[in-house]
């Protein structure tokens, strides 16, 4: 059984690679899922010896040197001329710790603000800066270029994809959120459904009446916020009675299939995709048809930041029922706000191992207090 920790590069380097390797070895961790290309963040860092917080706009933690065209990752300013990914990869070479690239794709507000024409466009034609649209060929090229560059470094045993899909919702959560109308899940989904030129064209090519679908989305969002439709309405059953929007939503799945197949061509390492940032059964909201997407992937990592073992195992079971032919890894949160004691972490680990998880990743080294790292050691002791 393999156990990994998600890690930020600043936490590794502030503490020193050698010290971190010793600590991971002591805990029983054999893999680092390192943030290589990452969204905007302000992190509270309880045990970092240098700083207690780190703020960064969406950044790469490597120096991009591949032949990027329209979109290029912005190397993080704190890093200066250095290449933190390379420093860490070099430092881990020859140790027992394997390296995974934790790779964020479309969630990039820095690039979204610079290129509003490449972001998600709501049915009302607003640009949502937090999310690049994967239907846009320039965005697809950017995602492939990032993967090509990382893959070419031959430093990673695995490359894991986060938000290489259609982001859900309004995007208001990443900054001072101002929403004083109740959208509900359906309203958030429809407001965040992309109607950029590329999404429209893609759906029109599949025979969808795009103008009609857009009009229904706009009317429904307004009905929801005015209370003429209940905000608790289930999006899945709503779509069943609105076939043009349903077809519009489904047209996105083939775009992701092609994108992931192209990613597969580039990535030599094992390739995984984070699943379940929403509920696992709601992956379709991201445009992901889990059964079909499994083909170009080696595994899914089911995000199960749950408070009980049974809830975490249930997520794995749902994923297995939706996509039975692919290996399932799992992500656990051994701390706030999911759990608050060692016994609960042990319960989580036992439950997901029992449910068939092939690998467990914990979130995340620098964000967890030291006592939580002790809880991980205790929880995985019998499996390492
Ligand atoms: Zn779009």
pLDDT (tens digit, 9 = 90+) per residue, 213-254?
999 999 999 999 999 999 999 999 999 999 999 999 999 999
Based on the number of CB atoms within 10 Å of its own CB, is 70 exposed (0-12), middle (13-18) or buried (19 or more)? Answer: middle
Residue 339 lies in a domain: yes
What is the whole-number distance in angstroms between the Cα of residue 57 and the centre of ligand 1? 23
Cα-to-centroid distance, 82 and ligand 1 (Å): 34
Quote the domain boundaries for residue 305. 298-349+358-369
From ligand 1's centre to the CA of 285, what distance in Å?
Answer: 14
Give the chain's radius of gyration (CA, Å): 21
Residue 267 lies in a domain: no
pLDDT at 177: 79
pLDDT at 344 over 80: yes
Amino acid 173: pLDDT: 67
Asked whether residue 162 is domain-assigned, the answer is: no
Separation of 314 CA from ligand 1 center, angstroms? 32
In angstroms, rounded to a whole number, what is the distance separating the alpha carbons of residues 11 and 7? Answer: 7
* Predicted local distance difference test score (pLDDT) of residue 277: 82
Give dist(CA 332, CA 343) in Å, integer: 14
- Decide: residue 101, CB within 10 A, 0-12 exposed, 13-18 middle, 19+ buried: buried
Structural domain includes residue 306: yes
Number of domains into which the chain is organized: 1
If you measure from the C-alpha of residue 122 to the centroid of ligand 1, how many angstroms do you get, rounded to a whole number?
A: 9
The whole-number pLDDT of residue 93 equals 96
Q: How far is the CA of 217 from the centre of ligand 1 (A)?
A: 15
Q: Is the dihedral of CA 110, 116, 117, 123 positive or negative?
A: positive
pLDDT at 341: 98
Residue 179 has a CB neighbour count (10 Å cut-off) of 12
**pLDDT value of position 246:** 98
Dist. CA 46 → ligand 1 center (Å): 39
For residue range 269-303, what is the model confidence (pLDDT) as tens digits?
Answer: 999 999 988 899 999 999 999 999 999 999 999 99
Q: Tell me, what's the pLDDT at 276?
A: 83
Which pLDDT belongs to residue 170? 83
Place of tokens 């979109």: 71
CA of residue 196 to ligand 1 center, whole Å: 4
Return d(Cα 95, Cα 19) in angstroms, integer. Answer: 12
Given pLDDT bands bounded at 50, 70 and 90, which one contains residue 174? low
Confidence of residue 66 (pLDDT cuts 50, 70, 90): confident
Q: How much is the pLDDT for 278? A: 86
Is 364 a member of any domain? yes
Distance of CA 248 to the CA centre of its chain: 23
Residues 122 and 218: their CA atoms lie apart, in Å, by 9
Whether pTM > 0.85 for this model: the answer is yes
Give the pLDDT mean for 125-148.
97
Predicted pLDDT of residue 378 = 98
The answer for residues whose C-beta is within 8 angstroms of residue 347's C-beta and 6 or more apart is 308, 309
Q: Is residue 307 part of a domain?
A: yes
pLDDT of 67 reads 85
Establish if 253 belongs to a structural domain.
no
Mean pLDDT of the chain: 96
**CA neighbor of 102 nearest in space, from 292, 230, 269:** 269
3-state secondary structure of 59: strand
Is residue 206 included in any domain, yes or no? no
Mean pLDDT of 66-74: 92
Rounded CA-CA distance 155/161 in Å is 16
Tell how far the Cα of 118 is from the centroid of ligand 1, in angstroms.
Answer: 8
- 175 alpha carbon – ligand 1 mean position (Å): 22
Residue 172 pLDDT more than 80?
no
From residue 233, alpha-carbon distances to 109, 216, 246, 248, 286 in Å are 30, 15, 15, 19, 19
**Quick one: the chain helix, strand, coil %, rounded to 5?**
45, 20, 35
Alpha carbon of 259 to ligand 1 centroid (Å): 14
Distance CA 7, CA 148 (A): 22
Question: Which of 59-68, 88-97, 100-109, 140-149 is the least confident region?
Answer: 59-68
Residue 349 alpha carbon to ligand 1 centre in Å? 38
CA of 292 to the centre of ligand 1 (A): 21
230: how many CB neighbours lie within 10 A of its CB? 12
Give the Å distance between the CA of 200 and the centre of ligand 1: 7
């Amino acid at each position: 059984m393999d156990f990994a920790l998600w890690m930020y590069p600043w936490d590794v380097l502030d503490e020193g690679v050698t010290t971190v390797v010793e600590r991971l070895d002591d805990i029983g961790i054999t893999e680092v899922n390192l943030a290589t290309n990452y969204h905007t963040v302000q992190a509270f860092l309880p045990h970092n010896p240098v700083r207690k917080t780190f703020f960064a706009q969406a950044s790469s933690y490597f120096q991009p040197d591949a032949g990027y065209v329209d979109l290029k990752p912005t190397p993080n300013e704190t890093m200066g001329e250095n290449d933190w990914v390379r420093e860490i990869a070099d430092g881990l070479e020859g140790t027992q710790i394997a390296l995974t690239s934790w790779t964020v794709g479309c969630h990039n507000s820095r690039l979204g603000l610079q290129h509003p024409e490449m972001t998600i466009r709501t049915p009302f034609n607003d640009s949502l800066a937090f999310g690049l649209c994967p239907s846009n060929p320039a965005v697809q090229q950017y995602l492939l270029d990032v993967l090509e560059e990382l893959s070419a470094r031959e430093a990673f045993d695995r490359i894991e994809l986060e938000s290489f899909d259609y982001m859900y919702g309004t995007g208001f959560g990443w900054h001072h959120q101002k929403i004083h109308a109740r959208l509900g899940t359906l309203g958030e989904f429809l407001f965040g459904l992309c109607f950029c030129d590329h999404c429209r064209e893609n759906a029109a090519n599949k025979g969808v009446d795009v103008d009609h679908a857009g009009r229904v989305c706009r009317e429904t969002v307004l009905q929801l916020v005015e209370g003429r439709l209940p905000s608790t309405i289930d999006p899945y059953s709503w779509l069943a009675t609105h076939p043009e929007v349903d077809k519009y939503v489904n047209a996105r799945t083939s775009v992701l299939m092609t994108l992931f197949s192209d990613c597969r061509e580039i990535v030599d390492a094992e390739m995984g995709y984070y699943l379940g940032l929403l509920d696992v059964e709601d992956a379709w909201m991201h445009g992901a048809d889990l059964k079909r997407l499994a083909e170009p992937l080696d595994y899914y990592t089911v995000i199960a930041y749950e408070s009980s073992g049974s809830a975490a195992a249930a997520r794995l079971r749902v994923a297995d029922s939706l996509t039975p032919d692919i290996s399932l890894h799992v992500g656990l949160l051994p701390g706030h706000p999911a759990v608050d004691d060692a016994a609960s972490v042990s319960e989580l680990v036992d439950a997901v191992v029992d449910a068939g998880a092939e690998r467990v990743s914990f979130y995340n080294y620098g964000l967890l207090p030291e006592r939580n790292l002790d809880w991980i050691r205790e929880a995985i002791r019998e499996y390492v």
